[in-house]
């Protein structure tokens, strides 16, 4: 164990060294807008006043709006924001597969609603939009059949990634009271110092480390906790002679979203880090404007020397003097307040563009400007929003949502709460289940490209079909309506299956054929009176009318 402990400590020291290069930038961001996450080095005193150096709230408000926008447009609890489907499209049309996917999705939504995912997600998005790297952990609370999600503070997390850029090493340094440390790991596992604290000063905080990384020492064939794909170790940061706990996971339990990763870097860059120069400048300009405003409202005064200590510059203040030429007069300083205000507005607009706030307020902005928008215009605006944020949403799906849904699926499967997989899926050799995201932002670009493409195509060919009716034979109406339903996320429960629709069509066609036959016979009877006599059932006409 000692060798494994030394190896884990060395690995921890390495990731600590890597993060040191990013901490000054993070400190600037937390000082100026992400004040809730200011304890990057974990040295802040509890209850400390924060934000005392902020003189303009625009960056903080813009960051919060972007984070709330991602939450509301991508994974709001009020909507169905993802759907399971098979990678092979033909499998999705098989009734038993459709039923399985629907039941599996319902179970996952049930698990999400029972968990605290929707409480933790907003803070996760805020970390990504401000610091640039957001981390969430998920595990099942034993005995409750409930999944607990925890957004970890950026100051606690140290990461590294593999050669493909995927985060596969994560250490978390955090503090726990000696009492809770003993309750979680056992008193005998603690260092001698921590044992004494647990007995005598139980609320004293002890610093410990949780490390997760690929289990290179895994022995194939063994199925115990120490031989899983991902190693998990706990140890005290100082004085540890053994692990507090050594176990493992079948899959990486952390979801790490990096807003944007530059080549050669480990941690993410965010709109806040991209705009840090403008944020600094705006803060300084606002500070100067505040001083200028105060100077304009409370100017300095020239006061006769003999009145020192006797001046009353207050409402209804009375100042007595003999010489009317020696008056108390304000010092007039020329101030160009308007120029400073214009500079503030330019900087604020630039910062808001970094955070894409205009895309989350398009409809509100149009309403304030008095513009009337029709449905196609709204769809195009939403599509533009999706296109502009496509790169960010794509990375967010890959780093966060895909991993979170995989983790939920795994926990629910291991817990025996997922429906049985139909045999036909195994028979078809297809076991990969894909995820389709249905949130407004995730669907915006799809709707713009797909739905608008269909509508514009139909508008173009409609006049031609009037001239050349045979062109209609080239349009597969069933496939067309399926594509339209898919592009707008039409409820599957409201769509009649194709076989049922074909039965209805066949019955309608038979009824129309019978009506045509009856009309033809009536017309023949009118033209040939002799035909109005009773029809011989063995005749051709009698056989035609059978069953009508």
* E-strand stretches of 32-98: 82-86
CA–CA dist 293, 335 (Å, integer): 9
- Count CB atoms within 10 A of the CB of residue 108: 20
| SS3 sequence of 97-112 | HHHHHHHHHHHHHHHH
Tokens linked to 295: 């100077």
Q: Which stretch of 62-66, 141-145, 407-411, 518-522 has the lowest confidence by average pLDDT? A: 518-522
CA–CA dist 151, 67 (Å, integer): 14
Tokens linked to 429: 């050799």
Q: Would the pLDDT of 294 be above 60?
A: yes
Q: Would the pLDDT of 380 be above 80?
A: no
CA–CA dist 528, 533 (Å, integer): 10
Q: Would the pLDDT of 45 be above 90?
A: no
Query: Is residue 158 within 8 Å of 12, Cβ to Cβ?
Result: yes
CA–CA dist 545, 548 (Å, integer): 6
CA–CA dist 21, 32 (Å, integer): 19
Q: Coil, strand, or helix at residue 382?
A: helix
Q: Would the pLDDT of 482 be above 80?
A: no
Q: What is the pLDDT of residues 218-259, one digit of tens each?
A: 877 777 888 899 999 999 999 888 999 999 999 999 999 999
Give the mean pLDDT of 409-433: 88
Give the mean pLDDT of 136-152: 94
User: pLDDT at position 398, please?
Assistant: 92
Most confident of 40-49, 236-245, 515-524: 236-245
* E-strand stretches of 364-493: 433-437
Q: What is the pLDDT of residues 94-129, one digit of tens each?
A: 888 989 999 999 999 999 999 999 999 999 999 999
Among all chains, which residue has been given the structure tokens 């969430």?
Answer: 136
User: pLDDT at position 538, please?
Assistant: 62
Alpha-helix runs per DSSP H in 144-234: 178-185, 192-200
Q: Would the pLDDT of 365 be above 70?
A: no
User: pLDDT at position 505, please?
Assistant: 81
Q: Which stretch of 31-40, 197-206, 288-297, 468-477 has the lowest confidence by average pLDDT? A: 468-477
Q: Would the pLDDT of 300 be above 90?
A: no
**What is the residue extent of each domain of the chain?**
2-44+52-274, 439-495, 507-545
Cβ-proximal residues to 363 (8 Å cutoff; 6+ apart), any chain: 373, 378, 381
Query: Is residue 256 within 8 Å of 135, Cβ to Cβ?
Result: yes
Q: What is the pLDDT of residues 272-291, one digit of tens each?
A: 999 999 999 999 999 988 88
Query: Is residue 254 within 8 Å of 399, Cβ to Cβ?
Result: no
User: pLDDT at position 543, please?
Assistant: 56
Classify strands 254-258 and 245-249 as parallel, antiparallel or unpaired.
unpaired
Q: Would the pLDDT of 306 be above 70?
A: yes
Residue (of 287, 291, 314) closest to 301 by Cα position: 314
Is residue 295 very low, low, confident or very high in pLDDT (cuts 50, 70, 90)? confident
For 158, list phi and psi in degrees, rounded to 5.
-130, 130
User: pLDDT at position 449, please?
Assistant: 63
User: pLDDT at position 452, please?
Assistant: 66
User: pLDDT at position 447, please?
Assistant: 66
DSSP-derived secondary structure letter, 20: H
Q: Would the pLDDT of 199 be above 70?
A: yes
Q: Would the pLDDT of 542 be above 70?
A: no
CA–CA dist 196, 202 (Å, integer): 9
Q: What is the pLDDT of residues 30-43, one digit of tens each?
A: 999 999 998 898 88
Is residue 518 very low, low, confident or very high in pLDDT (cuts 50, 70, 90)? confident
User: pLDDT at position 459, please?
Assistant: 76
User: pLDDT at position 181, please?
Assistant: 94
Q: Coil, strand, or helix at residue 145?
A: coil
| Residue 478 burial (C-beta neighbours within 10 Å; 0-12, 13-18, 19+) | exposed
Query: Is residue 257 within 8 Å of 27, Cβ to Cβ?
Result: no
* E-strand stretches of 469-543: none
User: pLDDT at position 375, please?
Assistant: 60
Q: Would the pLDDT of 481 be above 80?
A: no
List, in sequence order, every residue forming a beta bridge with 146; answer none if it has no partner: 141
List, in sequence order, every residue forming a beta bridge with 301; answer none if it has no partner: 330
List, in sequence order, every residue forming a beta bridge with 211; answer none if it has no partner: 171, 233
User: pLDDT at position 76, please?
Assistant: 92
**Is residue 370 left, alpha or beta, with left meaning phi > 0 and alpha meaning psi from -120 to 50?**
left
Among all chains, which residue has been given the structure tokens 């049985």?
Answer: 420
Most confident of 266-280, 314-328, 532-546: 266-280
Q: Percentage of the chain surpassing pLDDT 70?
A: 87
Q: Would the pLDDT of 531 be above 60?
A: no
């Amino acid at each position: 164990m000692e060798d494994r402990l030394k190896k884990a400590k060395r690995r921890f020291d390495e990731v600590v060294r890597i993060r040191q290069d990013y901490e000054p930038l993070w400190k600037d961001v937390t000082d100026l807008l992400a004040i809730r996450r200011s304890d990057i080095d974990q040295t802040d005193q509890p209850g400390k006043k924060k934000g005392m150096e902020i003189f303009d709230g625009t960056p903080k408000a813009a960051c919060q709006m972007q984070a709330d926008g991602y939450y509301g447009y991508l994974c709001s609890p009020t909507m169905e924001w993802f759907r399971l489907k098979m990678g092979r499209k033909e499998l999705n049309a098989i009734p038993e597969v459709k039923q399985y996917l629907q039941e599996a999705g319902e179970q996952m939504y049930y698990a999400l609603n029972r968990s605290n995912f929707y409480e933790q997600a907003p803070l996760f998005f805020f970390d990504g939009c401000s610091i640039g790297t957001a981390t969430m952990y998920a595990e099942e609370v034993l005995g409750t059949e409930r999944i607990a999600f925890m957004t970890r503070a950026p100051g606690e997390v140290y990461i590294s990634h593999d050669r493909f850029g995927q985060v596969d090493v994560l250490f978390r340094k955090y503090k726990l009271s000696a009492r809770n440390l003993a309750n979680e790991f056992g008193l005998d596992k603690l260092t001698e110092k921590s044992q004494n604290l647990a007995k005598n000063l139980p609320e004293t905080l002890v610093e410990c480390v949780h490390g997760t990384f690929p289990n290179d020492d895994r022995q194939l064939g063994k199925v115990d906790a120490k031989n899983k794909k991902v190693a998990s170790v706990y140890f005290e940061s100082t004085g540890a002679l053994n692990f507090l706990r050594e176990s493992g996971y079948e899959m990486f339990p952390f979801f790490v979203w990096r807003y944007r990763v530059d080549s050669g870097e480990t941690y993410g860059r965010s709109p806040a880090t991209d705009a840090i120069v403008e944020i600094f400048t705006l803060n300084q300009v606002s500070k100067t404007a505040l001083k200028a405003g105060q100077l304009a409202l409370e100017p300095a005064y020239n006061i006769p020397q003999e009145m020192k200590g006797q001046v009353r510059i207050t409402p209804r203040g009375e100042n007595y003097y003999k010489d009317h030429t020696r008056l108390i007069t304000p010092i007039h300083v020329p101030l160009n307040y308007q120029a400073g205000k214009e500079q503030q507005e330019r900087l604020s607009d630039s910062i808001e563009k970094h955070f894409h706030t205009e895309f989350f307020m398009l409809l509100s902005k149009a309403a304030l400007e008095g513009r009337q928008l029709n449905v196609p215009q709204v769809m195009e605006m939403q599509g533009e929003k999706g296109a502009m944020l496509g790169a960010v949403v794509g990375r967010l799906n890959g780093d966060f949502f895909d991993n979170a849904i995989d983790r939920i699926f795994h926990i629910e499967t291991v817990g025996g709460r997922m429906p049985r997989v139909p045999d036909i899926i195994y028979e078809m050799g297809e076991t990969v289940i894909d995820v389709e995201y249905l949130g407004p932002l995730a669907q915006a670009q799809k709707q713009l490209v797909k739905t608008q493409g269909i509508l514009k195509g139909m508008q173009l060919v409609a006049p031609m079909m009037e001239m050349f009716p045979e062109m209609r034979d080239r349009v597969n109406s069933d496939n067309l309506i399926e594509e339209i339903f898919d592009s707008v996320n039409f409820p599957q429960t409201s769509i009649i299956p194709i076989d049922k629709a074909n039965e209805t069509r066949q019955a309608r066609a038979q009824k129309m054929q019978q009506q045509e036959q009856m009309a033809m016979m009536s017309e023949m009877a009118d033209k040939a009176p002799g035909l109005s006599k009773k029809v011989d059932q063995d005749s051709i006409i009698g056989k035609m009318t059978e069953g009508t």
